[in-house]
Structure 1
Amino acid sequence: MSAPAAPTARERRRWAQYLVNERAEARVYRQLASRREGEERAILLALAEAEGRHEAHWLDLLGGEPARLPRPDAGTQLLGWMAKRFGSIFVLALAQNAEGRSPYDDEPFATPAMAADEKVHYEVVRGLAARGRRRLAGTFRAAVFGANDGLVSNLALIMGIGATGAAPQFVLFSGVAGLLAGALSMGAGEFVSVRSQRELLEATEPSNFADGGLEHLDLDANELALVYRTRGMPEDEALARARRIVQAAQEPGRSEPYRRPVEAADDHEVIGSAWGAAFSSFLFFASGAIIPVLPWLFGLSGIAAVVTALLLVGIALMATGAMVGLLSGGPPLRRALRQLLIGYGAAAITYLLGLIFGVSMG
């Protein structure tokens, strides 16, 4: 039987790259774990330990620590930089994308267990990131939608009015008026929307309306079981619980809660605060809507102001799109380009309408 072929220089470089990447990823998970407690901390430390096993595999193939090691790849370095400076939700979202791009499926020197580990890591990190996304969902949604609406609507308004040949002062006044009107409308609408959602949830929660009559119910024939059946409890379980509740109410010194825990608290957390959503929506709409107005605020006019506004809004649209993509676990560049096309498309339509209206009035 012939001896296995010695690894080539290219293979050793690839293994060394895997080695430093695994070390860097383990460091990221340990840094995140240092900021968490309880179950999340234990999960992150377990991920770091798994990356350590992968590191040991490449060390074994390399025959020990190489004299020189490459730097971790750019994505892994970015993860490490963010882990030191930002909240875990952003880092976990990036780590989710990184785990989903594992090269081990096509790597002949990686074991099948390592490739399988990376797939499981993706799901674990996605689960951890989902917890953070739920905590961000209500106010973050209002903030992102507010900023995007402010950017697109005010750019479209200014482009449409500017295309009619209106004076720069009128364009500026229209932009400021659009900012205030839109921000107030967004804030009020978000407040009403979130408050209505919370009120609907509260209407579905169990009440204590029947508590005062529990001790007078017949132990063997009562309708309390129907209450639990309306909440999805199986008939046998509902009957047993109803009997237990009534029996506890009829015995001095005993009590058992009539209302079973529901998931409404989690739903309230996802929806967020009505005032928080309204304030975020107002603030971020205004911060988005001010950007296309800036060229006219600083005295620009004509084509220079239009081009500057388009550039500033384009950068902002791509930034918000990339952030949404990052936090949702999707590709940031694709989301950024989608936001850019939507914003520029709306501006182009209103600009053409403004040109047509300006010509017809001329």
Structure 2
Amino acid sequence: MPTEREQQILNLIRQNPMITQKELASILGITRPGVASHISRLIKEGLISGKGYVLPRKEYVTVIGAVNMDIYGIIQEKKVVPKSSNSGLVRLQLGGIGRNIAADLVELGINTNLITVFGNDANGEIFKNDAVKREINISYAQQLLNETTSNYVYINKKNGERIIGVDDMEINRYITPEFLKSRLPGINASNLVVFDSNIPAETIKWLYDNVTAPMIAKAVSVNKAPNLYQDNVNLDSLIINGVEGALITQERINNLEDAKKCAKRLYAMFKATIYLYIDNYGLLIYSNKHLKAKPYKKNIEVHNTNGVGAAMAGLVAYSKLRNLDITESANLIVRAGELTMETNQSVSDHLKNLIK
């Protein structure tokens, strides 16, 4: 029976059988001789077999996208006073769409490989330790010297409505086609690939041209979501919120019929199943075969909407892996969003209860 540390090593090896002992040591924060000792025990126990670490083929999803430290304020008063101090709560927690999707998938019991970049700073160490603890495989991610891990600052009203956000995510410019090229065999061996629009437009174009595994895109922000629409789109599915969808299609969304028009236009543009989620309503799924609307339950006690889109993306991926029908998929996707809204966390601890 492997120890907890040996299980962590096994999880990393499953996603990258050619990972070096030096890389394992760096990811786990232990010495190389320490890794060698664990490897020796795993070989003796028959759990791996020598160089190349022969292991059974495992189902896994690759997520490509951002990790950042979220700094957010929640104004407690009903009335927001501009240009002044407002009483409220200030919180600090790990976030980033890519990281949140990966964490959600692991909560659902899916082996997940996260490809991202992060800084050689305190927040980078927090992310690395959290990934190891959650058993997110980051052997294909890279910690960059002299760079700062992404930060995202935002302010919400008490009901979860976003007032404003500011992101400092310049580090994501390093997720280039060249960066991903050496990782392509592992990406294409995935059962699914999920990426977010925080990565550069040229990298998205490269993914469309070179990835053969089914791909799911998660739109992020009105400034970056348009990067997803290119002349070589190669997507299975697109998850996008109402604000981003309205921007891309120039279709205003005031009601469900407007949402249907927007989803239809998005489908025409991307030729992919559209998962359009809308504040104060819920989810609309649209493809050439299906149209399914699923509202949120009434009287949700919203604490924070950050992480809702990532949770929904995680359940889209889970539903596809498990070949769920559209009704069951819609129910799970919306419930994941609700569970995330009902907590201040970017990843709900209750997601795993959805699949019991």
Normalising by the residue count of structure 1, what TM-score does the alignment of the two structures yield? 0.27
Structure of larger gyration radius: 1
Normalising by the residue count of structure 2, what TM-score does the alignment of the two structures yield? 0.27
Where relative contact order (Cα < 8 A, 6+ residues apart) is larger, the structure is 1
* Structure with a larger share of its residues in helix: 1
